[in-house]
Chains A and B, each alone.
Chain A
């Protein structure tokens, strides 16, 4: 054992949810919708405590695609949080974002790809990126906290400034193993 001082680098990279919150607030995101995932829990808490952001808990992920389009019609930016299993629920509703060129930013925590205990997560995990690309989304991936922060910053600009439909896949390796 050495160096009792906490390494500031490590501390900030462990706290990537706070960094994502800071970036999304700086991008003036005013609505957030989600189906929960453990990997998103801190970000969900932070947005839920924010009076300037309207938060919607969804029964199924495609609802958030529609809410994001409605928010944009009304002049607000929205972000959608889900895990990879939810991507399959979204496919037809993504026609709306694609054909209407609505800004869309989805943050997708990956399951079924790294130290996964539940085999039922694997098929949709495999289908996540190809199905998003098949319906016309741009898919970006991050495997480290540093890369994730930079990727979400770039993705939010592409989505909200350039009217693009973006899914950021957050690698399961980054989130860590679920405790069973």
Chain B
């Protein structure tokens, strides 16, 4: 039997972003969007409320446009499973400034906690290794997340994917704006681009 995850997702995400500096973050729909907002409604956050499977690829386009900035796709197991092909696309693109962190509760938390593939033997880090990612790991404790945050802050010669195993529970929702045009324009203004 695999080890039962004990880590609280909000504690994990807060530790991951404690010293984010100028990292740009794209969050996958559902809990990762609420987790990201609960830490801070930062202008360098782009929250998804849909477009399932797109978080890591939005982060890829962003990373390619902003090679001097670190870009983080913060997503869930269900969201990343819908974008498995994107792991191959990112492996081929090989950006040096893109990290994917999967907050993995092994369930579809938004729709009634149905079990997902990652609790049934599917290992996203192994897929990332097979797609040529520069580094991968699975972490389960706060201490490991803190070490991961420090590692992510450092340089890499390719994309990295990390899985953070967390408890399957839905903490109180922390809801960012659902107005994507507002969030888009706020994000671009943060990078110095004028609204059209």
A interface residues with partner B (beta carbon < 8 Å): 30-31, 54, 56-60, 62-63, 65-76, 78, 92-93, 95-96, 99-102, 161-163
Contact = CB atoms under 8 A, between A and B. Distances in A.
6 contacts: A56-B60, A58-B89, A67-B60, A71-B65, A73-B24, A75-B192
A65 B51 CA distance: 10
A69 B83 CA distance: 16
B119 interface: no
Contact of B61 (A59, A74, A101): A74
A157 to B, nearest CB: 12
Interface stretch (B11-19, B153-161, B179-187): B179-187
Nearest 3 interchain pairs by C-beta: A70-B61, A74-B65, A59-B85
The binding surface of chain B is classed by DSSP as helix
Given A92-B52, A101-B181, A78 B193 contact: no
B145 interface: no
B196 interface: yes
A75 B67 CA distance: 12
Contacts of B92: 56-57
Contacts of A73: 24, 46, 58, 61-62, 65, 184, 187-188, 191
With a 10 A CB-CB cut-off, give which of A31, A69, A74, A100 has the most chain B CB atoms.
Answer: A74
B184 A101 contact: yes
A169 B64 CA distance: 27
Contacts of B50: 92, 95-96, 99
B89 A56 contact: yes
Nearest to B187: A73
A5 B174 CA distance: 71
Given A59-B88, A101-B184, A31 B64 contact: yes
With a 10 A CB-CB cut-off, give which of A57, A60, A68 has the most chain B CB atoms.
Answer: A60
A54 B53 contact: no
A68 to B, nearest CB: 6
